[in-house]
Chain A
Amino acid sequence: MSTTNGLIGQSVKRVEDKRFITGMGRYTDDIILPLQTYTSFVRSFYAHAKIVSVDTSAAAKMPGVVAIFTGADVAAINGVPCGWQVNFKNGDTMKEPKHPLLVADKVRHAGDAVAMVIAETREQAKDAAEAVMVEYVELPVVVNAAEAVKPGAPLVHDDVPNNICFDWELGNPKSEVDEAMSKATHVTTLEFVNQRMVANAIEPRSYIGSYDAANEKYTLYTSTQNPHLIRLLLCAFVLGIPEHKVRVVGPDVGGGFGSKIFHYTEEALVTWASKKINRPVKWTAERSESFLLDAHGRDHITKAEMGFDNDGKIEALRVKTFANLGAYLSSFGPCVPTYLHGTLLQGLYTTPKINVDVTGVFTNTTVVDAYRGAGRPEATYLLERLIDLAALEMGKDPVELRYKNFIPPFDGVNQPGYQTQVALQYDSGNYEGVLTKGLEMLGYADFRAKQMEAVRNGKLLGVGFSTYIEACGIAPSAVVGSLGARAGLYEVGQVRVQPTGKVSVFTGSHSHGQGHETTFAQVVAGKLGIPMEDVEIIHGDSDSVAFGMGTYGSRSIAVGGTAIVKSIEKIVEKGKIIAAHKLEASAGDIDFADGKFTVKGTDKSIGFADIALTAYVPHVYPKDLEPGLDFSSFYDPANFTFPFGCHIAVVEVEKETGKVILKRFIAVDDVGNIINPMIVEGQIHGGLVQGIGQALFEGAEYDDNGQLTNGSYMDYCMPRADDFPVFETASQVTPCPHNPLGVKGAGEAGAIGSTPAVVNAVIDALWSGGHKVKDIRMPLTSERVWKAMQ
């Protein structure tokens, strides 16, 4: 099938923009249902405390109060489930304590909900929540994963010994890795923290549950990245209500970055309570609640060792990580530090022996789950910090060290995919290409001279590299199923050609900033040879979209886009049969291009809209062919996709203050074929700021009492516009060999590659001035950098 009108590959302006720039977007909190009530939660101030009593009597008498529910009221309801099972090394299944909708026995992190107060207005609900009296007995607290596994540490769950959810390993047997490491002529060791991050979507989570008693049907409006997945979890795992009696709508959603993938207790509670009170129930998080309750990301404590031979070839990699999972298991919490982290530790290098050992740990903190990149930034940070540090230690050039260890180029068609030591098979790659391009943009040939000149002038200038790979297009269901996933990870795309030839496309890939309404329309219009205006992309409503698994893991174009392409192929195939009948030819002799069905070698043709009309007004029509032109397809990918790239940071470090000034940032990303370069670049820019934000500004900090000490925008340093230079971006294209669009996905690349580049640049700057510092804990605040220089 040819693409005909040149739409694919063009920076088409976004069709969704109009509603957002005029204030006509419709986010969940914008919706007010008739007779809607508001809920406010009574949340624990303590990180760990036994609940002695909950007294709601005074609150119940407050003005406007409709209902109050406590842990006792929901004790018989299941908790929110975990969607991924990780096993212990000995084969035992992970520890999976209940994550109750409201807590009855003891609170396990600051913000844990004890009661739900429903009232006529937002303010009345808040007033009454303040009047609920909860008596606690404080318990000892543990917040650090490495501390939590030590004997005698406080237990977050009484029945989880040593707070260990699982211990897990992947790769070559540890004995083989130990042996290879012992033979290495140089071993670079790094002990570091990949700090806890807060996703901080600017739209706080918001839900409305409503119940239609006449039809016994629930509707949940939710700021989610995956409405169908929420419906599945809500119905089958939590409330035990029939799935066909629940409609889940994800309207416009104001950013997610992972934090809106997960099924949260509040979603289940507003749905459940709407039937209890027979009125709609709305909850919208305040920012302080977003900080305390939206799943956090990262939080690894890691020791990593990389062994090299005389020549600088990597011989072995050994990794031990304590992964903080928070107080409960979030929807995909166990998967992130294991199958999304350990599996990426091959990086771009031919390392022959790799062993990764991860202990998943409960602590008295907010749950941890996927945050933009999810596991892959942690793996990239580990590898790329090690390799730049190794270069400094061995007196080698970090660029040369990379070239020496890169997996050679392979296209996945003429050369096979690359089998890693850590379970994955890379699809296609040209890793030297992105580095070479990045070096050209940087002008690396002159950089070291400039750096020496800076030193002579009393300044510290540094360059840091990061050549990353990620696994996207999540995921082949059979593969992830064998690794513990409790869901399939296919996607669904339905293409409904209307009788007039206009096209409605229903996709399970929810869009919350990614621009699917444009990119997918480009694919459909491009493939069908019709104008973009004739295509509408519909997503986010489980009653109109057949099914779907949602948006995460940079999967939308690779998996959701391919599902749509499969439906287009069916439409063209059926269109050819109809056209053959009308043109009195055989279907095999019909070509489809430029929106026209043509008899090969003739000028006899019929337009797409005519075929559509014929399909719905089948007066002259092939015998035994069903009317209509409407196909739905499930696409389960053959493999992950593996985008990769090279990020380079140039920084200046102020000697007197330790302040890091980001002078340049270069990103060369290879995300396979590109449908809309403008949108892809936008995705990269956003990812860069989150990745650089982790390096320089952001990080959740808990004190020893389990209080999140920077749980507000006054305290948590969000990246701002004037923190950044103009980004220098470029792309290389190595098509994905196993999907028809040749696409790999671009949503997370910026956040995965950028963090270590910045930290490496700071370390490089310090070494240039004689400060041989191995590591500075992120974020690299002035204070930390200044201290490192003393």
Chain B
Amino acid sequence: MQIKVKVNGVDHSHDVEPRLLLVHYLRDTLRLTGTHIGCETSLCGSCTIHVNKKAAKSCSMLAVQADGCEITTIEGLAANGELHPLQEGFKEMHGLQCGFCTPGIIMTAADFLSQVPDPTEEEIRYALKGNFCRCTGYHNIVKSIKYAAAKMKEEVTV
């Protein structure tokens, strides 16, 4: 089937097998390998991207379901070469170790902060329910998201 998608601002058109998962389309066809596959069952969250500006698990969507959609992946998050506040936060607060879950968690957090710009510790931890990290114990991930929230607030104020 023919699909048209806009990924990280670039238009793509491909003929895909109906059963092709969106995550495989992104990784294998477009070679955007920053989106990872940890469980193929929508539970670990490593494959989280934005579809029409909302966080979605790309292992549980077919590529054909994304026809006509606007998609952002981790590769498209930094604007004009400047790190997104979340990317900066994860580096500053040591919010990652092996880095495998990190793109998914950052994409989840980006959607979350767009809805809850000034979250509490509890709200952040709750928002991460759909993302597993086996390295960090989540401790510094929470701090990273707090860092980003503060930074984004600052940017809005300025």
Contact = CB atoms under 8 A, between A and B. Distances in A.
B125 A202 contact: no
A13 interface: yes
A287 B132 CA distance: 13
A598 to B, nearest CB: 37
A689 interface: yes
A89 interface: no
B119 interface: no
Contact of A685 (B100, B102, B140): B140
A204 B134 CA distance: 12
Nearest to A512: B98
Contacts of A214: none
A727 B139 contact: yes
Contact of B124 (A25, A679, A721): A721
Given A22-B34, A714-B43, A686 B99 contact: no
Contact of A257 (B131, B133, B134, B139): B134
A287 B38 contact: yes
Interface in A17-36: 17-27, 29-30, 32
Contacts of A239: none
A397 interface: no
Interface stretch (A145-153, A248-256, A444-452): A248-256
A690 B19 CA distance: 36
Interface in B38-69: 38-41, 43-44, 46
A622 B118 CA distance: 66
Contacts of A690: 134
A17 B103 CA distance: 12
A201 B134 contact: yes
B3 interface: no
Nearest to B92: A13
A317 B125 CA distance: 42
A213 interface: no
Contacts of B2: none
A331 B19 CA distance: 38
Contact of B132 (A21, A202, A683, A687): A202
A713 B100 contact: no
B41 A513 contact: no
Given A679-B94, A722-B126, A22 B137 contact: no
Band of interface residues on A? 35 or more
B128 A721 contact: yes
A32 B32 CA distance: 12
Interface in A27-75: 27, 29-30, 32
A101 to B, nearest CB: 25
Interface in B79-103: 83, 87, 90-92, 94, 96-103
A569 to B, nearest CB: 30
A32 B28 contact: yes
Interface string A171-203: 000000000000000000000000000011111
A678 interface: yes
B149 interface: no
B158 to A, nearest CB: 23
Contacts of B91: 13-14, 17-18, 21
B73 A287 contact: no
A22 B136 contact: no
A622 B123 CA distance: 67
A140 to B, nearest CB: 32
A255 B98 contact: yes
B14 interface: no
B138 A689 contact: yes
Contacts of A514: 97
A594 B33 CA distance: 42
A719 to B, nearest CB: 8
Given A287-B40, A722-B129, A17 B96 contact: yes
A683 B128 CA distance: 20
A712 interface: yes
B41 A714 contact: yes
Contacts of A535: none
B2 to A, nearest CB: 19
Given A21-B87, A713-B43, A513 B97 contact: yes
A21 B93 CA distance: 12
A204 B41 CA distance: 13
A685 B94 CA distance: 11
A683 B74 CA distance: 25
Nearest to B33: A30
Interface string A704-715: 000000001110
A743 interface: no
B124 A254 contact: no
Given A17-B90, A22-B74, A123-B17, A686 B121 contact: no
Contacts of A287: 38-41, 44
B71 interface: no
The 6 closest A-B pairs by CB, nearest first: A23-B34, A20-B99, A254-B100, A513-B98, A685-B137, A513-B97
Given A687-B137, A726-B139, 12 more contacts: A13-B91, A24-B34, A200-B134, A202-B46, A202-B133, A255-B135, A678-B94, A682-B139, A686-B137, A720-B129, A721-B129, A727-B137
Interface of A: 13-14, 16-27, 29-30, 32, 122-123, 199-204, 252-255, 257, 284, 286-287, 512-515, 678-679, 681-683, 685-690, 712-714, 718, 720-722, 724, 726-727, 750
19 contacts: A17-B96, A21-B87, A21-B106, A22-B78, A22-B83, A23-B75, A25-B34, A122-B24, A200-B134, A201-B98, A201-B100, A201-B134, A255-B97, A287-B38, A679-B94, A682-B94, A685-B138, A713-B132, A721-B125
